[in-house]
Chain A
């Protein structure tokens, strides 16, 4: 009984941590504007990420762009992007993970392409999971 309580506590803390992450992620992305992200991207590719500061800026820009793509996917009608993984690198987006229906792959690629700052989309999405 004691053991179960402890484990429940751990789970609760883990949940809260996850929620905390979620909240902080929300505030960072809220300050992101398309222009700042694009600027950072261009800067990163120009300088070839020579200095540490540049690398950090590029990483931030990548994360922000991935965020915007994730939000675009989440809002796309007919697409369930809960299991898609989005990574960004200097405007290049890679979509991996899975969707439940084949036709959703095209919707995801199209939605990602239309996001401001995206130059290229690589599709590695698989079709797996229960029939929803």
Chain B
């Protein structure tokens, strides 16, 4: 009797089980080579190229169909240094992504460590997809990431991305979890973009509070891309400001126009070039901290197969005024304080799996 009941139960459940299709995929990329860079503290340096073009990573992406177009999704992605094998961010096994969520006709709702809504848009209108590993070729990292923790992903983030026709829109919120303070350590972000034929245009906004809720950083971003034959042109404008922690200090303000182009002349070749201009006032909230910065790069990628490539890259960063002594830049680029420029050249091999 029990057996029959069991059989009936199994029989009743099995169509449901067969319906729930799930998949888990392992993916990643790894690269390395050599990099030469000048005007560092102590002179020029020839070193290992920890794949400057893209984060070395491996990840697991999973999806389970729940029926009616609804699916449960998750992503775990680890970033690492190909030269040392060390984690990209000390202490964070899944520094690049760790989220779970639902996707369906309503859009996508995810919970965990991930990009903010503004970063989501910024990576889509970045000529190299927001994966550059150095501030030398990804100067936009400075104003799209968490300014206070220098983290490219936001922890404890609830993100929604919707899709209707050619319109895509999203919002994300990272609560700080600080008792008695609704601002401390939070990030609020929103984006909307529209794609029509070869053109994409949109905007992003985000505001981040530091852990003590004494300072905020805010970014307004408008940008887009346009396909012309085998090329895609990119244009962006960002307005970035950081409030001062003390009352009499001024708010930092940057105006950052940028342009880029990516061309695929033949299936095996890809060229990318970009230039970012940053006009900053009150760097580090100093009264006389005005300066300019220009960041440019050119790269060529030669594909041996769909997954494996050889690449060469040259980048140049120039500084004037207070930017020559800006601690944040000097730290990120390893530059000699007061240097008016730094040039880098990288050669490498990268494979994706």
| Chain A contacts to B: CB under 8 angstroms | 1, 3-4, 7-8, 10-12, 14-15, 18-19, 21-22, 25-26, 29, 66-67, 70-71, 74-75, 77-78, 80-83, 85-87, 96-98, 100-103, 124, 126-132
Contact = CB atoms under 8 A, between A and B. Distances in A.
Interface of B: 23, 25, 27, 29, 54-55, 57, 59, 61, 63, 75, 77, 96-97, 103, 105, 114-115, 119-120, 123-125, 129-131, 163, 165-166, 168, 193, 195-201, 222, 224-227, 229-233, 235, 237, 255, 257, 259, 262, 264, 267, 277, 279, 292, 306, 352
Contacts of A3: 279, 292
Given A11-B237, A85-B232, A22 B25 contact: no
Q: Would you call the interface of chain B mostly helix, strand, loop, or mixed? A: strand
Contact of B123 (A11, A15, A29, A129): A129
B197 A71 contact: yes
Contact of A22 (B115, B193, B199, B229): B199
B69 to A, nearest CB: 8
B163 A77 contact: yes
Please give me the 5 A-B residue pairs with the lowest Cβ-Cβ distance, nearest first: A129-B129, A11-B257, A4-B279, A74-B195, A82-B124
Contact of A70 (B198, B222, B235): B198
A66 B198 contact: yes
A70 B226 CA distance: 12
Contact of A25 (B168, B198, B259): B198
B259 A14 contact: yes
Given A4-B279, A25-B198, A85-B230, 7 more contacts: A1-B279, A25-B199, A75-B166, A85-B264, A97-B232, A124-B267, A126-B352
